Amino acid sequence: MSDSEDESIDKQLKIVIIGDGASGKTSLTTRYAQEQFGKQYKQTVGIDFFLRRIVLPGNVNVALQVWDIGGQTLGGGMLDKYLYGAHGVLLVYDITNYSSFENLEDWLVVVRRVFENEGKMPHRALVGNKVDLEHMRTVKLDKHQKFAQENGMSSHFVSAKTGDSVNLCFQKIAAEILGITLTKPELEQHQRVVKADIINYQAKEQTSKQPPPQPKSSLCAIQ
Ligand SMILES: Nc1nc2c(ncn2[C@@H]2O[C@H](COP(=O)(O)OP(=O)(O)OP(=O)(O)O)[C@@H](O)[C@H]2O)c(=O)[nH]1
Ligand SMILES: [Mg+2]
């Protein structure tokens, strides 16, 4: 099959990311689309777009059009328009911020209202972000699961910072929207290994004047 024929079987999916400000929507999107993460918080004003192509089992080429919506759009007039025509909606909260979880109720109200008229609801995914801060978790697992179940949502936990389960989350959502089953090896392939930085003790030693480490020993630290 030639490249041009490959192109013709592409499916385009509109994925909209919503949730409170600072829950990590932009971080999640840039991690997924550009393999980047920034510690600095820069509020999204309105909307940003990203595109990523993936291949699903059966050689199905999918173009994911990701709409990253600013948290401040809740209550504004534009949100309905952004949501219109979405195949999937990710409702993102920060597992260390309880109100970001509670407020998803309000975001869901808008989703329901927009799609009531369209007849068909989009795939809805509940995404708990910042799992690298597990020790600071304020939203219990059972709360998350209950909310997902009651609202017919798929359930995901990710860290935009480390990249943990980010690819997997989008892959699963796209496959589910298109009615494609992912096999266990395919699921495992998208589990990302979390990288640990190697500390250079020789460089540290020069600045801190600490006793030298044992020869040939090296340490890993997960940040
Ligand atoms: N530790 C940690 N911090 C994160 C993670 N994801 C995002 N952050 C931080 O959380 C802050 C807010 O992230 P954004 O992605 O800008 O949040 P947002 O949801 O896009 O916010 P709005 O654009 O205002 O709606 C930033 O300082 C990020 O660095 C994560 O997985 N772990
Ligand atoms: Mg943002």
Query: What percentage of the chain has pLDDT greater than the value 90?
Result: 73
Pocket test for ligand 1, best of 16, 26, 78 (most atoms within 8 A of CB): 26
Please check the confidence at residue 214 and state whether its pLDDT lies above 60.
no
Per DSSP bridges, beta strands 60-69 and 88-94 are unpaired
| Model pLDDT for residues 6-33, shown as the tens digit of each residue | 455 579 999 999 999 999 999 999 999 9
Q: At what angle do helices 166-177 and 25-34 cross, to 10 degrees?
A: 90
Ligand closest to the CA atom of residue 164: 1
SS3 assignment for 148-179: HHHCCCEEEECCCCCCCCHHHHHHHHHHHHCC
Q: Which CATH architecture has domain 11-189?
A: 3-Layer(aba) Sandwich (3.40)
The pLDDT confidence band at residue 199, using thresholds 50, 70 and 90, is low
Higher-confidence position of 190 and 115: 115
Distance 30 CA to ligand 2 centre (A): 10
